[in-house]
Structure formats: C-alpha cells, structure tokens
Structure 1
C-alpha cells in the first residue's frame, strides 16, 4: 500500500523516514528527524511511502515547482533492497507526476550507486550533468538525471 504524507501523522512519519534512511544508507541518513519534519511541512514537498503488512519498506520524496519536480530521496530499507520495491516506487511516482501534470523531474545520484543509476535509466531518466564533490559522508561526485514525464506517458 502506498501512502502520501497527508495520510500519516507528521512526527511519526518523520521518525520512520529517518529510521529507514539511517538503516539504508551505508553512511547513515543524510537528514535528521528534524529535517524530515521541516520538509514534510513544506507545501511543495510530497512523500510516497510503501508500507506492506505494517512494515515500512521504503519511500520516495520530491519537491515540485510549477510543472517541474526534484526527487530528494529514493530509499528502500536494506532488508527489502534488490526485490523490485524501488522499481515499484518509481512507477508509482511517475504515475503521481503524470496526475500532477509535471513535465520533467530531476534527481542526483552518487557516481558509485550503479544499481540506482541503472534503475533510473530503465525508467527513462537521462544523465544531463555531473556535479563534482556534490555529496559528503563520504565526499563523492553526483550525476544529475532528468526524466521528461510527458514523453514517458505518451
């Protein structure tokens, strides 16, 4: 079952998002619980959370401005990685973006995260830029990718 941020209490949601992030990223969550709380309060932020049989599997979050969006997180709990849940979340996200009439969506991914990059490419994202030293903990370059949502939907 997919839930949006409007369907879940903010503090509990922020704590669970942090917990999934903390256990999924090799260097811990890039955001604190407080940062998730602040982001959840933003009118331009959206969260799509995958919960199956009471278990929090993962989430995707994004910000939108007019007809564009930027993905801020795509996170799958370590226990559930490489089982197709990221694929399902991205499909659900694209469906939501189509409903919101978003034309294009951007994201950054670590150069070393080849499995995520392959997933994004499979979904139609194209590499458009390279950001030197974009990530910290550890310091690493980022790849900027873009999906033309309207092209995928046609």
Structure 2
C-alpha cells in the first residue's frame, strides 16, 4: 500500500524515513532527521512511502517544480532489498508524475552503486553527467541521470 506525505503526520514521517535511511545505507543516512523534516515541510517536496502491515518497506522522495522532478531519495528497507520493491516504487512514482504532466525526472546516484544504476537504466534513465566528489562518507563521484517521461509513457 502506498501513502503520500499528506496521508501521514509530518513529524512521524521525518522520523520513520530517517530511521529507514539510516538502516538501508551502508554508511548511514545521508540526511539527518532534521534535514528530512525541513524537506517534508517544503511545498515542492513529495514523499511516497510503501507500507505493509504498518511496516515501512521503502520510500521515494522528490521535488516537483513545474514539469520536472528530482528524486532526492529512493530507499528500500535493507531486509527487502533485491526483491523488486524499489522497482515497484519507481513505477508508481513515474506513473503519478506522468499523470501530473512531468516531462523529466533527474536523480544522482553513487558511481559505485551498480545495482541502483542498473535499475534506473532499466526504467529508462540515462546517465547525463558526472559530479566529482558529490558524495561524502565516503567521498565518491555522483552520476546524474535523467528520465524523459514522454519516452516511457508512449
């Protein structure tokens, strides 16, 4: 079952996405709970969470500006990784964005995150740029990827 940030209490949402991010990433969450809270309160931010039996399985957060979106997080609970949940979340969000008239979606991914890069390419994202030393803890380059939604929906 999917829920948007409007379906959840914002204070609870910041806590649960921070905890999930902390557990899902090998180097801990890239954002603090406070950073998630500030982001959630932004008019342009959207969160789609996947719950099963009241357990958070994953979420995608993004910023929506006019006809473009930028994913800030694509996270799956560590116990459920490699089971297709990230793919399901992406499909749901891309469908919703297409219905809202969004034409492009951007994201950054660690250069070493080959699994995520493969998934994004499978969904139609193309690598368009390299950001040197974009990530910290550890320092690593980031790859900017872009999805032209019109390509997916036609």
Name the TM-score, length of structure 1 as normaliser: 0.99
Runs of 4+ off more than 3 Å: none
Deviations for 1:72-104, whole angstroms, at most 9, x for unmatched residues? 000001001001100000000101111111000
Unaligned 5+ runs, structure 2:
none
Give the aligned length.
154
Q: CA deviation at 1:65?
A: 1.1
Could you tell me how far apart the structure 2 residues matched to 1:111 and 1:38 are? 27
Could you tell me how far apart the structure 1 residues matched to 2:105 and 2:44 are? 14
SS in structure 2 of the partner of residue 19 of structure 1 = helix
Q: CA deviation at 1:54?
A: 1.2
| Aligned ranges 1:62-73 → 2 under 5 Å | 62-73=62-73
Aligned to 2:61: 61
Aligned to 1:153: 153
Unaligned 5+ runs, structure 1:
none
Q: CA deviation at 1:6?
A: 0.1
Q: CA deviation at 1:55?
A: 1.0
Name the TM-score, length of structure 2 as normaliser: 0.99
